[in-house]
Structure 1
């Protein structure tokens, strides 16, 4: 998700995170869910992320649901 500067800037702006707090929050389910929420809200980003991770978009959405209960 962060490989694309425009997408990364949009994510950081929408979440209020900065790169350091994002790195520190990688083990935090809330931060991880926010990244998956961000991807889920814009299908082209979701599809690109799924392709880059070699998973399906459905698997990413399922991971989000698992994180948020």
Structure 2
């Protein structure tokens, strides 16, 4: 049995990684994301460990109502939880808790 995640930053990172998986699951959406970020498909996995990259993933998902609603539905999250994850990851004060 997995231990429940209690750290808000970890939860936000999990949401962002779920968002990345959502983006990667649609070739058209993934192509748009890769073109906008300049990240290549071969470096996508390594980029996922960068908190700034995770912020860009959530920014991409949240910029369009239809996309954020689709991700919210798939991930079973409320859009405000997605926005909260984005805010938490983008807050430089949380960097002090990062390893």
**TM superposition score normalised by structure 1:** 0.91
Higher relative contact order by CA 8 Å / sep ≥ 6: 1 or 2?
2
Shift of 1:22: 1.6
Runs of at least 4 residues off by over 6 Å: none
- 2:21 is equivalent to residue 3 of structure 1: no
- Please give the residue correspondences for 1:14-53 in structure 2 after superposition, counting only pairs within 5 Å: 14-53=36-75
Q: Aligned partners of 1:57 and 1:42: how far apart in 2?
A: 12
CA contact (8 A) 1:22 1:31 kept: no
Listed as ranges, the gaps of 5+ residues in structure 2 are 1-22, 92-99
**TM superposition score normalised by structure 2:** 0.65
Root-mean-square deviation (Å) = 1.0
Greater Rg by CA: 2
Aligned length: 69
